[in-house]
């Protein structure tokens, strides 16, 4: 790695954490966790991967601020006013970090495969985050395991609005990731991260309605495990079809 690349990675990861903490979008410990994850992805993955993470973070913060006052009135926001702590950051960052470390270990021969897995891990996080932040505004919510009507914000609840914005988030993340990594080309495996993003998002709802709501796992464990599940499904799909 060239010195200028190292400096770019440090500056980008540092700015992300500082700005987010300054705007009260991350707690202090959340900003530290964000810096660590950003450095891991930039140093062991690529600068492009770090840029994808930064763009996803911006998308997530924007979704958090949409209708924040209404979410606060119902107690559906993260933290006191939408800010996220280190547990949130680590839960989302585990899967991308794993792919960065795998890529560093396996080498450039597996760059495409690891990139598909990486984009998919971000697509899962984006779909779930946007579905949670925007979907709570929809009053018509059903429990994913029984399809009975439940209140907005209930673990495992799904809605038309939430599902729609989740799909949009998965597509947007995939497009951004694809252009940054592969350029303005097109291959059929472009659709894999989109599909994986939705699979992971629905898996999050299933675990939310079962293990999480019963207290067997936390929402952070749910977020991390479903991001891993969705991204490894993407890897298996790529290996099978391509």
Q: What is the pTM of this model?
A: 0.91
Q: What is the pLDDT of residues 139-182, one digit of tens each?
A: 899 999 999 999 888 899 999 999 999 999 999 999 999 999 99
Distance CA 67, CA 95 (A): 29
Q: Report the SS3 class of residue 142.
A: strand
Long-range CB pairs of 23-26, under 8 A, 24+ apart, other chains included: 23/61, 24/81, 24/83, 25/61, 25/64, 25/82, 25/83, 25/84, 26/83, 26/84, 26/85, 26/89
User: Digits of tens for pLDDT over the chain (242 positions)?
Assistant: 778 789 999 999 999 999 888 878 899 999 999 999 999 999 999 999 999 999 998 887 777 666 554 555 455 445 555 578 999 999 999 999 999 999 999 999 999 999 999 999 999 999 998 888 787 777 899 999 999 999 888 899 999 999 999 999 999 999 999 999 999 988 889 999 999 999 999 999 999 999 999 999 999 999 999 999 999 999 999 998 87
CA distance 159 to 113: 32
Tokens found for residue 100: 């960065």
Q: Report d(CA 24, CA 68) in Å as an integer.
A: 13
Structural domain for 236, as ranges? 3-241
Query: Structural domain tally of the chain?
Result: 1
């Amino acid at each position: 790695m060239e010195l200028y690349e190292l400096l770019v990675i440090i500056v980008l990861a540092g700015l992300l954490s500082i700005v987010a903490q300054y705007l009260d979008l991350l707690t202090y410990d959340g900003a530290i966790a964000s810096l660590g994850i950003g450095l891991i992805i930039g140093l062991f993955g690529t600068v492009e991967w770090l840029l994808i993470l930064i763009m996803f973070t911006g998308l997530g913060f924007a979704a958090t601020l949409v209708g924040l006052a209404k979410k606060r009135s119902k107690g559906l926001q993260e933290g006191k006013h939408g800010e996220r702590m280190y547990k949130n950051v680590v839960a989302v960052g585990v899967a991308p970090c794993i792919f960065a470390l795998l890529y560093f270990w396996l080498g450039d021969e597996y760059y495409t495969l690891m990139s598909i897995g990486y984009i998919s891990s971000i697509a899962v996080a984006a779909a779930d985050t946007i579905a949670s932040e925007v979907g709570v505004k929809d009053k018509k919510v059903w429990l994913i395991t029984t399809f009975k009507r439940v209140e907005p914000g209930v673990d495992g609840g799904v809605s038309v609005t939430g599902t729609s914005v989740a799909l949009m988030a998965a597509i947007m993340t995939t497009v951004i990731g694809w252009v940054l990594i592969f350029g303005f080309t097109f291959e059929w495996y472009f659709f894999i991260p989109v599909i994986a993003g939705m699979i992971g998002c629905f898996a999050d709802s299933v675990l939310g309605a079962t293990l999480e709501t019963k207290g067997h796992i936390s929402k952070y464990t749910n977020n991390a495990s479903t991001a891993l599940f969705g991204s490894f499904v993407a890897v298996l799909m790529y290996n099978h079809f391509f």
